[in-house]
């Protein structure tokens, strides 16, 4: 009992230490405390804000790492509902959480980087010091390369290649670690001179690809950037939340208990098996992701829960169509899945509600009938993508029904689709609700940004319709009905 209590107390102390690494600022001390540090990332928050509560533990973890950075970066917070109201007003904080970077007490820029600990650390490290670290000794170089991240290093003397390297470093400093040697002993120790080398972190070492790659191109920053992008993640990259956007289709991802902190050996056990197959399928990009961190993605593939230790494999082809490997993971099953995927022999997964019976003034689209009622429709289509919980969508619904009734005798279809329950084709870029598109017959979708009143819709449709409306002229003026 005593041991359990001691462990609990130690956990509480550790938690408090992490929380204390974030400075609490207010109206009285904001200017003086931010001015006393070179770089400060400030989170303006409200205690009731759900997004703020989710960010808080990630922000605290990042703070404990960045305080010992060279040079240090301080993370701070301001409560906009209490003793920080004036400061929040002064910096025009209109939503929570809002993050801003201050340098020497002055506002530098808004923070638009990742919202999880590792991403915050990487982004803020890029905001301080030079883009490329000077390797002044063998010890400094070894310490730099010991970090669990990809590192890109220039070895050698001043040259056009070095100039281009430094330009590339400045361009990519927010996502990539760079360093350059300034001592001949460093070049000799690592066996390189007048070259650029990309080093992969030791925990990703494997027998299927080299642990480092030498750039053999010209002194051109664009070419160097392309080299880094091509080789950064290796054959099967560790796809974290902050780096997910860098992995593009055609993409194959193994979702399982990826954890390079608590279980690197177990993580690499499955990664190596994916690597063994991946080396024979060069047309695909590959990654591994933690199944809990990416449950939202698994939901998009129809997987609400993944049991067991084995990876679940999901893929997107070049058209971003989704595919799920239905068989239990083995190297043989993965190879069969990829072979069939390459040959176009697999049926894509489509998240869709059942095709409904149409009995109202507005046609209901789901993923399964989308091509019929929208993409290949012989009519012009106005389609609303909505969410059931969206207040603006609920407010629009009566007007949209009126519009459907008004257009029932026209060569125009008024359509709606629940975008939370159905896959939306990539050509319809839905980022909020409601989102409305005009799709002319045989044409491409165009975003509708007009008013939301009935008359606004009618005027727009009257002007844009492929065939002039029967009930309205091109200006949206109702035609007279002859008796």
- Give yes or no for a contact between 415 and 366, defined as CB atoms under 8 angstroms apart: no
Instruction: Return the pLDDT at 68.
Output: 85
Helix (H, G, I), strand (E, B) or coil at 260: coil
Tell me which CATH homologous superfamily contains domain 23-127: Glutaredoxin (3.40.30.10)
Helix (H, G, I), strand (E, B) or coil at 265: helix
User: Hey, where are the domains in the chain?
Assistant: 23-127, 133-232, 237-343, 363-464
Helix (H, G, I), strand (E, B) or coil at 478: strand
Just list the catalytic residues: 49, 52, 390, 393
Distance (Å, whole) CA 137 – CA 149:
20
Instruction: Return the pLDDT at 482.
Output: 60
CB crowding 73-106: b at 16 or more within 10 Å, else e: bbbbbbbbeebbeebbeebebeebbbbbbbbeee
Distance (Å, whole) CA 306 – CA 33:
47
- Give yes or no for a contact between 416 and 362, defined as CB atoms under 8 angstroms apart: yes
Q: Which residue's structure tokens are 């025009």? A: 92
Instruction: Return the pLDDT at 17.
Output: 46
Helix (H, G, I), strand (E, B) or coil at 334: helix
- Give yes or no for a contact between 458 and 475, defined as CB atoms under 8 angstroms apart: no
Strand partners, 40: 74, 102
Instruction: Return the pLDDT at 4.
Output: 53
Distances (CA, A) of 456 to 50, 252, 278, 351, 450: 36, 45, 53, 33, 7
Q: ω before 243 within 30° of 0 (cis)?
A: no
Reported as half-sphere exposure (CB side, CA atoms, 13 A), residue 153 has a value of: 28
DSSP label at residue 349: B
Q: Which residue's structure tokens are 């909505």? A: 386
Tell me which CATH homologous superfamily contains domain 363-464: Glutaredoxin (3.40.30.10)
Distance (Å, whole) CA 110 – CA 99:
6
Q: What is the CATH architecture assignment of 133-232?
A: 3-Layer(aba) Sandwich (3.40)
378's CB contacts (< 8 A; 6+ apart) are 411, 441
Q: Do 133-232 and 363-464 come out as alike in CATH topology?
A: yes
Strand partners, 247: none
Phi then psi dihedrals of residue 357, to 5 deg? -85, 130
DSSP label at residue 357: P
Q: Would the CA dihedral through 97, 103, 108, 109 be positive or negative?
A: negative
Instruction: Return the pLDDT at 10.
Output: 45
Are β-strands 151-155 and 177-181 bridged in parallel, bridged antiparallel, or unpaired? parallel
Helix (H, G, I), strand (E, B) or coil at 112: coil
In tens digits, the chain (483 residues) has pLDDT values of: 455 554 444 454 444 445 689 999 999 999 999 999 999 999 999 999 989 999 999 999 999 999 988 789 999 999 999 999 999 999 999 999 999 999 999 999 899 888 889 889 988 988 888 899 999 999 999 999 999 999 999 999 999 999 999 999 999 988 899 999 999 999 999 999 999 999 999 999 999 999 999 999 999 999 999 999 999 999 999 999 888 989 999 999 999 999 999 999 999 999 999 999 999 999 999 999 999 999 999 999 999 888 999 999 999 999 889 999 999 999 999 999 999 999 999 999 999 999 999 988 999 999 999 999 999 999 999 999 999 999 999 999 999 999 999 999 999 999 999 999 999 998 999 989 999 999 999 999 999 999 999 999 999 999 999 999 999 999 999 998 665
Note the CATH number of domain 237-343: 3.40.30.10
Q: CA nearest 330: which of 274, 291, 257, 286?
A: 274
Instruction: Return the pLDDT at 15.
Output: 46
Are β-strands 195-199 and 212-215 bridged in parallel, bridged antiparallel, or unpaired? antiparallel
Q: CA nearest 363: which of 374, 352, 353?
A: 374
- pTM here? 0.74
Distance (Å, whole) CA 454 – CA 69:
58
Distance (Å, whole) CA 366 – CA 358:
12
């Amino acid at each position: 009992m005593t041991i359990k209590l001691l462990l609990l107390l130690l956990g509480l102390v550790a938690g408090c230490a992490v929380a204390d690494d974030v400075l609490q600022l207010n109206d009285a001390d904001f200017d003086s405390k931010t001015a006393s540090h070179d770089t400060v990332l400030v989170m303006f928050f409200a205690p009731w804000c759900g997004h703020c509560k989710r960010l808080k533990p990630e922000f605290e973890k990042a703070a404990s790492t960045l305080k010992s950075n060279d040079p240090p970066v301080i993370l701070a917070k301001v409560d906009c509902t209490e003793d920080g109201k004036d400061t929040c007003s002064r910096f025009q904080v209109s939503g929570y959480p809002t993050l801003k970077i201050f340098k020497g007490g002055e506002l530098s820029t808004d923070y638009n980087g990742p919202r999880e600990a590792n991403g915050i650390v990487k982004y803020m490290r890029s905001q301080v010091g030079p883009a490329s670290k000077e390797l002044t000794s063998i010890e400094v170089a070894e310490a730099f390369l010991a970090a669990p991240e990809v590192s890109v290093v220039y070895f050698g003397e001043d040259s056009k290649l070095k100039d281009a390297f430094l330009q590339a470093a400045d361009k990519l400093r927010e996502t990539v670690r760079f360093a350059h040697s300034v001592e001949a002993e460093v070049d000799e120790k690592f066996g390189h001179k007048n070259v650029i080398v990309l080093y992969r972190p030791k925990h990703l070492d494997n027998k299927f690809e080299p642990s480092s790659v030498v750039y053999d191109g010209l002194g051109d920053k664009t070419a160097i950037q392309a080299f880094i992008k091509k080789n950064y993640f290796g054959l099967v990259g560790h796809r974290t939340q902050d780096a997910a956007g860098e992995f593009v289709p055609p993409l194959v991802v193994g979702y399982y208990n990826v954890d390079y902190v608590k279980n690197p050996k177990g993580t690499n056990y499955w990664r190596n098996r994916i690597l063994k197959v991946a080396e024979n399928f060069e047309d695909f990009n590959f990654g591994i992701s933690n199944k809990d961190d990416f449950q939202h993605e698994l939901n998009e593939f129809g997987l609400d829960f993944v049991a067991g230790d084995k990876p679940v494999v999901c893929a997107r082809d070049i058209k971003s169509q989704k595919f799920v490997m239905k068989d239990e993971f083995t190297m043989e099953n993965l190879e069969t899945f990829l072979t069939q995927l390459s040959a176009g022999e697999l049926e894509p997964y489509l998240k869709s509600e059942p095709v409904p019976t149409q009995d109202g003034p507005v046609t209901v689209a789901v993923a399964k009938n989308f091509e019929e009622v929208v993409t290949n429709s012989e009519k012009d289509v106005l389609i609303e993508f909505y969410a059931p919980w969206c207040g603006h969508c609920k407010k629009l619904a009566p007007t949209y029904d009126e519009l459907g009734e008004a257009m029932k005798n026209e060569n125009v279809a008024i359509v709606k689709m629940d975008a939370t329950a159905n896959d939306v084709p990539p050509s319809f870029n839905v980022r909020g609700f409601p989102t409305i598109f005009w799709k002319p017959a045989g044409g491409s979708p165009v975003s509708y940004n007009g008013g939301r009143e009935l008359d606004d819709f009618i005027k727009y449709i009257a002007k844009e319709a492929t065939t002039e409306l029967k009930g309205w002229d091109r200006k949206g003026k109702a035609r007279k009905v002859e008796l």
